[in-house]
Chain A
Amino acid sequence: MSEIKLEHLVKKYGDGFAAVNDVSLDIRDGEFMILVGPSGCGKSTLLRMVVGLEDITSGDLHINGERVNDKAPRDRNLAMVFQNYALYPHLSVYENIAFPLRLQRSRHPEPEIDEMVRRAAGLLELEEHLERKPANLSGGQRQRVAMGRALVRDADAFLFDEPLSNLDAKLRGQMRTEIARIQRRLGTTTIYVTHDQTEAMTLGDRVAVLRRGILQQCASPRELYEQPVNLFVAGFIGSPPMNFLPGRVEGDVLHLPIGDVPLPEAARAAATGHDLLIAGIRPELFEDASVLDRSRQAGGVLVDLDIDVTEWLGNELYAYVPYEPDPAVRAKLDELDRDLDGEGMRTQLVVSLDAQSRVRDGDRARLWFDPARMHLFDPESGVTLTRDEEVAARLDAENEDLRQGSLERARRAADRAVPA
């Protein structure tokens, strides 16, 4: 049982650069919290502040209600998995896992250490490698040893610093599910740093999105996806990313580079007072009109577009449509692109179509989308104008219920496994 509370945490370096700026987070007991953002956003620094490897410039860090700002890492009882694993090369797998236990020798007698190491090794399927040295293990095995060392001891929370970034794509997928399974089974509070939004979305109970040291939004994956608070979050979450199109408002019509769209009911109030908006449309909102059900066409609009390039992936088809952005929002979109580690490439619309679609490079295609699901952003501040707080709150509550439910189930299962 442990809660971690971050209150206005700031990390300033000697040159005055604030790597982490006024971040407040409330991580609940048993929760899987993700810190995500592009490189240099301060997510790793924040994690290292929690574990105690970086000093906290200002703000308070509470673990289970106790202020731990000035405690050494070893007194915080947290376990961490490092990005490069940091296994001890001179020790066998067994001794690597036993290392944290041996440091508290007084607390654990030898037979108990042996039992705990074997239990952790069993959980991670490392039994047959216990006598080997880290140098003789594959990347995935090393990763599991690092996890074994973290979960062997009864730590208050697990901290992961980009644990999967050194693995190849297939293994990364497997380990991701493995981490999720273990966390659910143990029900231990976890903070997980990643730059990969897929990991963030799939693993997290809640996800905190950071940008340049500032917390943008902390919410459930679903809320981040459906109700992002600003341009940055909207652009960061989702793959392929959301399309941002400059739009001019004229009465009830929004002029987009891809065509004119009627402003949906809900967006009208939000659009008042703005001539120029940024419209955000997710690639999967588009459909190829020629393969779409007639019945669904009614609610949306049809646009004719020149397809530049297509990519067929088997389960879906990506099509790219270049366009000239409005110079008035160009600067804003370029800045966003830089923040998202973009390459400043041409502005283009990405659409994700049904794999049945026969659209090919160079075609003029008729695409369909529903403007009601479009997001509108203020081009100056980047704030989402169409965000519905009520829906967001409901999503949040739903997510918390689901989380409590699965945590409860995991604990009951654990109780059953170990009869009292």
Chain B
Amino acid sequence: MTGMAKNSTLPGSSTPRKLVDGSLIFLIALGVAGAIGVWFLKGPDVFWQILGHEVVFAAALMPKIVAGVLIASALPFLISRDRITAAIGPESGWRGLAIAAAAGAIIPGGPSVTYPLALGLMAAGADLGAGIAIVSGWVLLGLNRTLIWELSFLPADIVALRFVLCLPFPILLGLATRKLWKDFAP
């Protein structure tokens, strides 16, 4: 596992990355099922409208994806593996998970920021538990979304209650992952 930045595995890849694998087939099957459903239940017009919209959106997303992947690929070279491993590696305990969760909650940006970051950090020495804590910190406590979106729709006391109740979970989920998937090797 050490020196992963030097060998041929891609950052954070959990499985050998074949271009066509189960996950792509799954996505395509789901898409085809959805497409058939829309075509017959909503009509061809809606089908083409959605297809056009999503294709344009995905295309517009591409430069962002490439930039995110570049960052994820560069991260393992930028920060020393020892420091990452000490901070959020497998032996970092709940403090490491707290650091990871806080990073996920504080770093602004959507999925094309947080996932490459988690991926890059996992390639640079963070363990699976820390990766789960980063993503969980972002989805449950992400300050950007909570402050901008959630507060504009829901009453402040409900938002605060949800935030406080969710506070321990990214750490707990990271701990549970470390316990349950101890043998997970990236």
Please determine whether chains A and B interact with each other in the same assembly. no
Contact surface of A with B, Cβ cutoff 8 Å: none
Contact surface of B with A, Cβ cutoff 8 Å: none
